[in-house]
């Protein structure tokens, strides 16, 4: 039994934002049917390929647990099939450029007529306003959502983050919206339109920096390193390097081997109530009572000096030794783990967070499994579909079409098959 058992999702998505949403729904047990352009499919099947003639990891890692139907939605017969699929499904998810669905002839009004219980879920770059027609990709979303202006170091340019908060972050928001709309439909019997703009999703994920924007009116942001360095604040939230973003100061500190290993670092948080333990661990017991160091407030203008002293200690240990020493004292620290280290962490495979997936064209590949764990719902990860792998079974099984009708559809060119 799975959480979304019986829910049928038309996955009219491409690249990352939409596919990340529908992959979550598929993991939760929905039957997710990916509609792909005949012959080519999702453009990511052929991007960043590492193995000739095999779907790329870009595609396979975002399209697990789905079925694929090839369908030309601009072909008249293809439109007829799309209409039938809309009638048969609970949710349609799309992330085309603004207006693409309308141009295909499938406005929201028309879809509601076809299936009043349908939930139409859309991702666009911007919400309503002067940019609503713009096309948007991940890094653009990070820039227009406030993340880039607040990421990086004060004396460097704005930075994008590797975490795909624009694409997968929006996909995650949309998946929640879809599940909520399904829940509401239980009571009203009606579908609705659910939309997420990438700019809005990034801004939601960057909300702590909007918090700081408003706090600036009350004076300098005392937990930012620049306060201790005596550098004045301007009128907008500055970039804060690796400073802790909350009430507990933090920094990335060098560990043993940092000269040659780019990931020999640890994030170290000075949580106020374990300050005395930190002093003991790093060999500065006098700081427990010394004026200027004893309380969190007193330390705010000396954070760089305090962290440098802690770093002198962390540099004598590996990042894992620092963690082993600090954890028993409840001192929050986190080693900087490389992708290689994560890929080799067997505990992650045991929990299903990392998975090894067999694939007919690729062989076995690694992927990130479902990060949501249920006590009463099984989340197996199955490989992404080959292009059009399920065209026949969807036409006959889901739509109940007879073989003559399927032959007519193929002959029209709508599925990219001619037989």
Q: Which residues are identified as catalytic?
A: 167
Rounded CA-CA distance 217/327 in Å is 38
Q: Where does residue 191 rank: exposed (0-12), middle (13-18), buried (19+ CB within 10 A)?
A: buried
- 361 counts as binding ligand COA under rule CB under 6 A: no
Nearer to ligand COA, 26 or 414 (CB): 414
Give the residue, chosen from 7, 21, 35, 326, that forms a contact with ligand COA under the rule CB under 6 A: 35
Binder to ligand COA among 3, 104, 315, 399 (CB under 6 A)? 104
Site for ligand COA contains 111 (CB under 6 A): no
Residue 74 is a binding residue for ligand COA (CB under 6 A): yes
Distance from C-alpha of 207 to C-alpha of 146, rounded to nearest angstrom: 9
103 binds ligand COA (CB under 6 A): yes
When the beta carbons of 16 and 226 are compared against ligand COA, the nearer one is: 16
71 is a site residue for ligand COA (CB under 6 A): yes
Asked if residue 169 binds ligand COA (CB under 6 A), the reply is no
Nearest distance from residue 72's CB to ligand COA, in Å?
5
Residue 124 binds to ligand COA (criterion: CB under 6 A): yes
Among positions 11, 167, 223, 243, the unique one binding ligand COA when judged by CB under 6 A: 167
3-class state of residue 253 by DSSP: strand
- Closer Cβ to ligand COA, 18 or 191, answer by number: 18
88-90-91 Cα angle (round to 5)? 120
CA nearest neighbour of 44 among 34, 55, 36: 55
Q: Is 240 in the site for ligand COA (CB under 6 A)?
A: no
Told to check if 337 binds ligand COA by CB under 6 A, we report no
Residue 79 burial (CB count, 10 A): 17
Starting at the edge strand that comes first in sequence, how are the strands of the sheet with 265-269 ordered? 250-254, 265-269, 333-335
Locate tokens 């790093």: which residue? 282
Q: Which is nearer to ligand COA, 72 or 212 (CB)?
A: 72
Closer of 106 and 224 to ligand COA (Cβ): 106
Question: Which residues are CB-neighbours of 376 under 8 A, at least 6 positions away?
Answer: 1
DSSP string, 193-240: EEEEEHHHHHHHHTHHHHHHHHHGGGS--TTSHHHHTTPPP-SSPPP-
- Shortest distance, position 164 Cβ to ligand COA, whole Å: 9
Is residue 73 a contact point for ligand COA (CB under 6 A)?
yes
Choice from 97, 208, 342, 378 touching ligand COA (CB under 6 A): 97
What end-to-end distance do the CA atoms of the chain give, in Å? 37
Beta strands (DSSP E) in 231-310 are 250-254, 265-269
**Residue among 65, 95, 115, 206 that touches ligand COA (CB under 6 A):** 95
Which residue's CB is nearer to ligand COA, number 332 or number 413? Answer: 413
- Residue 251 binds ligand COA, judged by CB under 6 A: no
Smallest distance, Å, CB 176 to ligand COA?
17
CA dihedral (138, 103, 385, 53) in degrees, to 10, reads: -80
279 near ligand COA, rule: CB under 6 A? no
Instruction: Identify which of residues 80 and 229 has a Cβ nearer to ligand COA in the complex.
Output: 80
- Distance between CA atoms of residues 348 and 354, nearest Å: 5
Q: What does the alpha-carbon distance between residue 294 and residue 56 come to, in Å, rounded to a whole number?
A: 55
Residues that bind ligand COA (CB under 6 A): 15-18, 35, 37, 71-74, 95-97, 100, 103-104, 123-125, 135-137, 167
């Amino acid at each position: 039994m799975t959480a979304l058992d019986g829910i049928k999702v038309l996955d009219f998505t491409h690249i990352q934002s939409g596919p990340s949403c529908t992959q979550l729904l598929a993991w939760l047990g929905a039957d997710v049917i990916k509609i792909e352009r005949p012959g080519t499919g999702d453009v990511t099947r052929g991007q960043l390929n590492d193995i000739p003639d095999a779907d790329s990891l870009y595609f396979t890692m975002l399209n697990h647990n789905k079925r694929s139907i090839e369908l030309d939605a601009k072909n008249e017969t293809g439109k007829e099939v799309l209409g039938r699929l809309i009638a048969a499904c609970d949710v349609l998810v799309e992330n085309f450029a603004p207006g693409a669905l309308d141009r295909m002839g499938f406005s929201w009004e028309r879809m509601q007529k076809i299936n009043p219980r349908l939930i139409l879920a859309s991702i666009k770059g911007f919400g309503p306003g002067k940019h609503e027609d713009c096309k948007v990709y991940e890094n653009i979303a990070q820039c227009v959502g406030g993340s880039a202006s607040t990421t990086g170091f004060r004396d460097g340019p704005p930075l994008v983050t590797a975490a795909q908060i624009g694409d997968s972050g929006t996909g995650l928001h949309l998946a929640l919206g879809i599940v909520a709309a399904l829940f509401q439909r239980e009571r009203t019997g009606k579908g609705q339109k659910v939309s997420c703009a990438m700019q809005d999703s990034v801004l939601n994920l960057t909300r702590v920096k909007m918090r700081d924007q408003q706090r600036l009116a009350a004076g300098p942001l005392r937990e930012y390193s620049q306060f201790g360095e005596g550098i004045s604040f301007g009128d907008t939230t500055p970039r804060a390097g690796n400073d802790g973003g909350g009430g507990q100061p933090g920094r990335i500190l060098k560990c043993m081997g940092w000269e040659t290993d780019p990931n020999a670092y640890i994030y170290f948080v000075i949580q106020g109530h374990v300050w005395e333990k930190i002093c003991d661990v790093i060999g500065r017991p006098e700081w427990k009572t010394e004026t200027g160091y004893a309380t969190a407030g007193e330390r705010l203008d000396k954070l760089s000096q305090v962290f440098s002293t802690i770093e002198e200690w962390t540099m004598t240990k590996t990042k894992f030794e620092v963690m082993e020493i600090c954890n028993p004292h409840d001192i929050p620290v986190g080693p900087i783990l490389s992708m290689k280290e994560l890929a080799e962490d067997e505990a992650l495979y045991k929990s299903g967070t990392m998975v090894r997936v067999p694939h007919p064209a690729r062989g076995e590949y690694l992927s990130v499994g479902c990060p949501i764990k249920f006590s009463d719902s099984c989340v197996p990860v199955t490989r992404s579909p080959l292009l059009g792998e399920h065209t026949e079974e969807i036409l006959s099984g889901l739509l109940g079409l007879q073989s003559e009708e399927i032959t007519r559809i193929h002959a029209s060119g709508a599925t990219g098959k001619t037989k």
